[in-house]
Chains A and B, each alone.
Chain A
Amino acid sequence: MNVELTSGRLVHFAGNTVRFSSDHTGILKAVETHFKYCVGEDGPLIANYKITTANETDFSLSINGSDLISKITYDQVLWHLMQEGIAQLNGASITGLVFHSAALAHDDNGLILCGGSGSGKSSLAAWLTANGLQYLTDEVIALPTSPANGGEISGLCRSIILKRGSAFIWQHRLVSKESDGFLQFDDGSAWITPTLLNASAVRAKVTPRVLIFPQYIPEAQFSVQRLTPAEALFRLLQCLVNARNFPDYGMSATTRLARQVTAYSLTYSDIEKATQWIQQTITAG
């Protein structure tokens, strides 16, 4: 099948845009649903992904007209788009520092959950969203390099991506599952639109007040440690994705963020207990 594709979902983040388009209605619908809130500010189109279909089980993905991968399944297409597209947006930003972090908001108080894969930030983001916080992202935030606007952050407001164990919980908790908003994969992982957890969940920007470095460890005792600004800076720099795009490697803007927030490290195994403590902390302002 050879279809000229001119439309598609534009995904904006950190001053740049990627486009996902397809001749397959199922792919298009999934992309529309799970990147619906990635609206942000328009920026240059840095990557144009096209998905073409040979048949229902054979998809090909190209970027800017060059073949990227072929003979992949429907699920693999979606994961490639999620990973490749976001990596493009993260690495290209020259207007904002991009950190591996989830972010939420309670009124004017922003919360950053900073950490790499497996730290539990997506699971915590899901629980906190379901408990009434507003959702910015479960994956990456952008911090403008300019100190204007009070250091407001924005997030890549994709669907929340949960791994098998965490997705299983939500599969059973969500009473009114929309078939489109809850997308479960064969490996047990799931994508959940934030509005499925909380109808008024989505937030574009917020000024961060609390910064938490979560660490999920099975069977671990719940523990919290207040961090000094230097400890927060040290940890933030380890989660900075696009440092090389800036003359000072993001040091000055990251330092401003470290000074601006109250920072903690949090070790937990019981997510309800961790969520409760985080809510108390962020609502206290």
Chain B
Amino acid sequence: MIVPTPVDGFQIETLEGEIVLLHPTRNLIIHGNQTGTLIWQLCDGTRTLDEIVEILSAAYPEARAEIQVNVPAIIQTLVSRGALKTK
């Protein structure tokens, strides 16, 4: 069971539905488009990856197939960039 959780230490700004994350001590800056921002906001350390996919699939049923492929990939990208950790 994968539970994506935000890594501590980020400064966060949201502008017009898009997020910018700044981790000053790691010199890391990440921009998320509206989709990435929505996924980031769901990764609060309480939901599993499967639950996040299910929430988004229920909200956007016409894009279910795409969500099932893309959401895990985006979360994996955020993990590899150091913005999320899994527990």
Interface residues of A (CB under 8 A from B): 228-231, 233-234, 237-238, 243-244, 248-249, 251, 255, 258-259
Contacts and interface: CB of A to CB of B under 8 A. Distances in A.
Given A233-B15, A234-B29, A249-B22, 7 more contacts: A228-B18, A230-B19, A237-B29, A238-B29, A243-B24, A244-B24, A255-B15
B11 A234 contact: no
Contacts of B44: none
A229 B20 CA distance: 10
A230 B16 contact: yes
A249 B20 contact: no
A249 B13 contact: no
Interface string B1-32: 00000000001011110111010100001111
Contacts of B22: 237, 249, 251
Among all A-B residue pairs, the 5 with the closest Cβ atoms:
A230-B18, A234-B31, A229-B15, A249-B24, A230-B15
* Size band of the interface chain B makes with A: 10 to 19
A231 B24 contact: no
A230 B14 CA distance: 7
A111 B12 CA distance: 27
13 contacts: A228-B18, A229-B16, A230-B15, A230-B18, A231-B31, A234-B20, A234-B29, A237-B20, A244-B24, A251-B11, A251-B13, A255-B13, A255-B15
Contacts of B13: 230, 233, 251, 255
Nearest to B27: A243
Contact of B20 (A230, A243, A244, A248): A230
